[in-house]
Amino acid sequence: MIRTFRSKIDKKTLVLCVLPAAILFVYFFWNQWPLLAFACALFQVFIMERMLHTEYIFTDNGVLLVKKGRFSKVKSYALSEIRSAEVVQPSRIAFLRNKHMILLTMNDGRMVFLIPYPAKEFCQYLMKKKNQLEQKQIDE
């Protein structure tokens, strides 16, 4: 069974990224600077598209696919390469981050941050799927 989790749009991200870009777009358009207005509009479209179309997909063959919008490449992580997954809450210094993030620790030491919604359910499903794959390999 294929399971899909989506990214939650954070209000801080909307206010701190999209609102200034919209204000700059109106300002540049009002002062008749069309190239700068076009650049702000393009930036805004790119950011909104990336926020709306981020998906985390678990496939049947034990791969986690991370799609961060339609304009970016799909990253794939084998569940057998993932050592641990935990819900982390960043410090107050990183105020632009979401409250609940997933920290994936890979077998080679890499760390990958993901922002699925709901985060706890994502971790539980990932560990359940990983245990099922390990059990399947042991049985064979």
5 and 55 in contact (C-beta within 8 Å)? yes
105 and 82 in contact (C-beta within 8 Å)? yes
The number of angstroms, rounded, from the C-alpha of 139 to the middle of its chain's C-alpha atoms is 34
**Owning domain of residue 108:** 3-139
In the prediction, which pLDDT does 115 show?
86
pLDDT in tens, 37-81: 999 899 888 888 888 889 999 998 889 999 988 888 999 999 889
> Is it the case that residue 87 has pLDDT exceeding 70?
yes
In the prediction, which pLDDT does 95 show?
55
How far, in Å, CA of 81 to CA of 93, rounded? 31
pLDDT confidence bin for 97, thresholds 50/70/90 = low
- Average pLDDT on 114-138 reads 87
In the prediction, which pLDDT does 62 show?
86
The total number of structural domains that make up the chain = 1
Q: What pTM was computed for the model?
A: 0.79
Give me the percent of the chain exceeding a pLDDT of 90. 29
Q: Please report, for the domain that includes residue 32, its CATH number.
A: 2.30.29.30
Closest by CA to 52, choosing from 102, 21, 19, 7, is 7
User: What average pLDDT is seen over the chain?
Assistant: 85
pLDDT in tens, 9-29: 777 777 777 888 889 999 999
In the prediction, which pLDDT does 43 show?
87
In the prediction, which pLDDT does 33 show?
93
